[in-house]
Chains A and B, each alone.
Chain A
Amino acid sequence: MELARLARDGDESAFGEIVRRHSPRVFRVASRFFRRREQAEEAAQEIFLKAFTELGSYEARGSFEGWLTRIATNTCLNLLRSQKRRTPELTAADLTEDEGAWLDTQLSDVAAERHRAAENATVAADLADKVLDTMSPDDRLALTLVDGEELSVKEVAEVTGWSESKVKVQAFRARRRMREAVERLLGR
Chain B
Amino acid sequence: MRDGHVIEILESGPFDALGESALAQVRAHAEVCADCRRAYEAARVSSLLLRGRAARGFEPPPFFQTRVLAALRERQAEQVWALPRLWKAAGALFASMVATVATLGALTFLAPGATQPDAPAEEVAAEEVYSVEESILAQGGGADEEMTYDQVLTVVYEPNDGGAR
Contact = CB atoms under 8 A, between A and B. Distances in A.
Given A41-B58, A121-B56, A12 B50 contact: no
Contact of A172 (B11, B50, B53, B59): B11
Interface string A98-133: 000001001100001001000011111101110110
Interface stretch (A13-21, A64-72, A75-83): A13-21
Contacts, number: 129
A149 B36 CA distance: 26
Given A106-B45, A175-B11, 9 more contacts: A16-B69, A28-B57, A45-B64, A103-B45, A112-B48, A147-B46, A148-B50, A183-B38, A186-B45
A115 B69 contact: no
A115 B17 CA distance: 19
Contacts of B59: 24, 27
A75 B31 CA distance: 45
Contacts of B54: 32, 144, 148-149
16 contacts: A16-B65, A16-B69, A19-B68, A24-B60, A31-B57, A41-B64, A103-B45, A125-B56, A128-B52, A144-B53, A148-B51, A148-B53, A150-B14, A175-B11, A178-B46, A178-B50
B52 A124 contact: yes
A103 B46 CA distance: 10
B32 interface: no
B95 to A, nearest CB: 33
Q: Is the interface of B mostly helix, strand, loop or mixed?
A: helix
B58 A37 contact: yes
A19 B60 CA distance: 10
Nearest to A153: B13
Interface in B6-61: 10-12, 14-17, 38-39, 41-61
A107 B60 contact: no
Contacts of B48: 106, 112, 115, 124
Contact of A48 (B11, B43, B56, B68): B68
A4 interface: no
Interface residues of A, number: 54
Interface residues of B, number: 38
A48 B66 CA distance: 12
A141 interface: no
Q: Is the interface of A mostly helix, strand, loop or mixed?
A: helix
Nearest to B17: A150
Nearest to A125: B56
Interface of B: 10-12, 14-17, 38-39, 41-61, 64-65, 67-69, 71-72, 75
B41 to A, nearest CB: 6
Given A125-B53, A172-B11, A186 B65 contact: no
Contacts of A52: 72
A106 B54 CA distance: 18
Contacts of A150: 14, 16-17
